[in-house]
Chains A and B, each alone.
Chain A
Amino acid sequence: MFFRAKVQLESFEAAAMPHLTDLYRTASFLLRDRHEAEDLIQDTYLEAWKSFHRFELGTNCRAWLFKIMFHRLHHVRRRLVKASRLTTIDSPDGQDELAAEPVVPQEIRDEDVLSALEKVAVEFREVVLLADVEEFSYREIAETLKIPLGTVMSRLSRGRKLLRQELGEVARSYGISPRTKQAGAAETT
């Protein structure tokens, strides 16, 4: 019995551990707290291990782990909101109305893009991370976050635009002027 359990754990580790860094980074950018992210990852893996008997080997382990992590993340956020450590969850203040297409710098530094990402409301940020970094499909994101496909598309579109806008602010801070845009016209040489 012990041998069988040991083999199962080895099998679980082989399937699940390669995705730890992806999960941890996503958790870090959503919680903005390394310790909370580490706790979330540990809880996610323990829960995944407990329900590993229900996981069908050969299916998408990464998507399965993300689904578990986001399920737990929901509870973590509620706890953090109660403890007033997280204020923006579902209310992206001032981010509903978007300015015109911003200009992003040609060279984007890591710290700039991460700083910009941090300013994007979490409900958009999580979709952007899942789509652009983790490269999940719309359907997988919808299943992971338990939201409709249309919501995934609208949040992704808005999230990306918010990110560009924040990066536009960075560009302005570097003295890069926004390109003058003429509605209904395009430049050509």
Chain B
Amino acid sequence: MNTLSFDSKRCERIRQQLDSYLSNELLVETASDVVHHLESCQACSRDLESRMRVRDALQRAVSNWPVPDSVRTDVVRKLRASQARSFAGVSVKRWALGLATAALVLFGLFAAEWLNLRRGEQLIASILKLGVSDHVICAIQGHNYPEVPNPPDQIREKLGARYAPLLQVVQQRLPGFELLEGHICSIPGSDRKYVHFITRGQGTILSVILTERNGAALPRDKLLLSADSDGLGIYQDHLSGMEIAGFESGQYFAFVVSGLNQKKLLELARGLAPALNETLRTTARLLLPNATTKWAKLG
């Protein structure tokens, strides 16, 4: 047996690197140095071999360590249970959230619609109030009608060519009522004028009034409509002790006002509205051939 001297410092340095070499963590150049040294140094080779043997034994022993099937099945079972719980939880939360959101949206829509209707009702009342006011001031308080009906010619003269054709409509479309008076009224302190027919029947005075809209309009919400007559929406209200029904006709608001009950007044308004609308339209075309929608202004 020969004993060769060797560079102990070099062996020491190489052995310090054997762990990293074993783990394949050395740089290529350093690993190459280690390999080169191992080729010529049996002691270091044996050291490496010993370390590799232990590592291999450890790997083998650990890989032979039994893993009970129950570990896998328990994990899978718990995962599935967790998923089911999670799904149920999420479902309940999402359903609850969904319901709450839907309720909130419905409430929001309902509130918006309710506000819209309230605003619409207020607008209708403010417009219909004109008709009630005109009727009360001119016919009821002013008593501007004769006990014996004015002759039609006289009324036509008061109304002028523009509105005279309406006379026949009022006479024909208000069964049971006699036309007492027809004229154009002015309102003190205001530019507004209105065409006023005063009739009598069924123990009460009934006015048919036309006044220019001047850009104002009744709301279009069908929920606010009281009736529909040949496409004309009729709105109704009870204001200052009077029943009133109103509708739009071209550039005009038309009102039927009296102390009749709601149902009777609405029936009369429905009968009157289409004919009145058509006559106004025809008159406007005859008098102002270029006017189609903007009918004649009150003179």
Among listed A23-31, A55-63, A69-77, A81-89, interface-contacting one: A23-31
Is A67 an interface residue when CB atoms closer than 8 A count as contact? no
Question: In the complex, what's the smallest C-beta–C-beta distance from B237 to chain A, in angstroms?
Answer: 52
CB-based contact A42/B74 at 8 Å: yes
Within 8 A of A (CB), among B12-48: 16, 19-20, 23, 25, 41-43, 47
Question: In the complex, what's the smallest C-beta–C-beta distance from A168 to chain B, in angstroms?
Answer: 10
Within 8 A of B (CB), among A98-120: 101, 103-104, 106, 108, 110-111, 113-114, 117
CA distance A46 to B75 in the complex (A): 8
CA distance A138 to B57 in the complex (A): 21
CA distance A1 to B181 in the complex (A): 75
For B5, the chain A residues whose CB sits under 8 A away are: 184-185
25 pairs from A and B in contact (CB 8 Å cutoff): A1-B87, A1-B94, A5-B86, A13-B79, A17-B72, A17-B76, A24-B67, A24-B71, A41-B71, A42-B78, A49-B82, A104-B50, A113-B54, A117-B61, A133-B62, A156-B23, A157-B16, A157-B19, A160-B51, A184-B6, A186-B3, A187-B42, A188-B2, A188-B3, A188-B42
Is B58 an interface residue when CB atoms closer than 8 A count as contact? yes
Is A6 an interface residue when CB atoms closer than 8 A count as contact? yes
Within 8 A of B (CB), among A127-167: 128-129, 131-133, 137-138, 153, 156-157, 160, 163-164, 167
For A164, the chain B residues whose CB sits under 8 A away are: 50-51, 54
Contact of B90 among A1, A24, A185 (CB under 8 A): A1
Main secondary structure of the interface of A (DSSP, over half): helix
CB-based contact A156/B19 at 8 Å: yes
Chain B CB within 10 Å — which of A45, A132, A164 has the most?
A: A132
Within 8 A of B (CB), among A172-189: 182-189
Question: In the complex, what's the smallest C-beta–C-beta distance from B244 to chain A, in angstroms?
Answer: 57
Is B8 an interface residue when CB atoms closer than 8 A count as contact? yes
Q: A6-B83, A187-B43 are in contact. Are A160 and B19 (CB under 8 A)?
A: yes
Question: In the complex, what's the smallest C-beta–C-beta distance from B76 to chain A, in angstroms?
Answer: 7
CA distance A186 to B2 in the complex (A): 9
Complex A-B, nearest 6 residue pairs according to Cβ-Cβ distance, in ascending order: A186-B43, A110-B61, A108-B57, A184-B8, A113-B57, A157-B19
Contact of A38 among B3, B42, B65, B74 (CB under 8 A): B74
Is A20 an interface residue when CB atoms closer than 8 A count as contact? yes
CB-based contact B42/A131 at 8 Å: no
CB-based contact A5/B87 at 8 Å: yes
Chain B, Cβ-Cβ closest to A114: B61
For A17, the chain B residues whose CB sits under 8 A away are: 72, 75-76
CB-based contact B19/A9 at 8 Å: no
Q: A21-B67, A41-B71, A189-B1 are in contact. Are A29 and B25 (CB under 8 A)?
A: no
For B50, the chain A residues whose CB sits under 8 A away are: 103-104, 164
CA distance A29 to B65 in the complex (A): 10
CB-based contact A189/B43 at 8 Å: no
For A45, the chain B residues whose CB sits under 8 A away are: 75, 78-79
Chain B, Cβ-Cβ closest to A189: B1
Is B64 an interface residue when CB atoms closer than 8 A count as contact? yes
Question: In the complex, what's the smallest C-beta–C-beta distance from A93 to chain B, in angstroms?
Answer: 22
CA distance A164 to B71 in the complex (A): 31
For B80, the chain A residues whose CB sits under 8 A away are: 9
For B60, the chain A residues whose CB sits under 8 A away are: 110
Q: A106-B53, A153-B20 are in contact. Are A132 and B71 (CB under 8 A)?
A: no
CB-based contact A29/B57 at 8 Å: no
For B64, the chain A residues whose CB sits under 8 A away are: 110
Question: In the complex, what's the smallest C-beta–C-beta distance from B145 to chain A, in angstroms?
Answer: 75
Chain A, Cβ-Cβ closest to B90: A1
CB-based contact B72/A20 at 8 Å: yes
CB-based contact A108/B54 at 8 Å: yes
For A137, the chain B residues whose CB sits under 8 A away are: 23, 25
CA distance A5 to B87 in the complex (A): 8
Is B223 an interface residue when CB atoms closer than 8 A count as contact? no
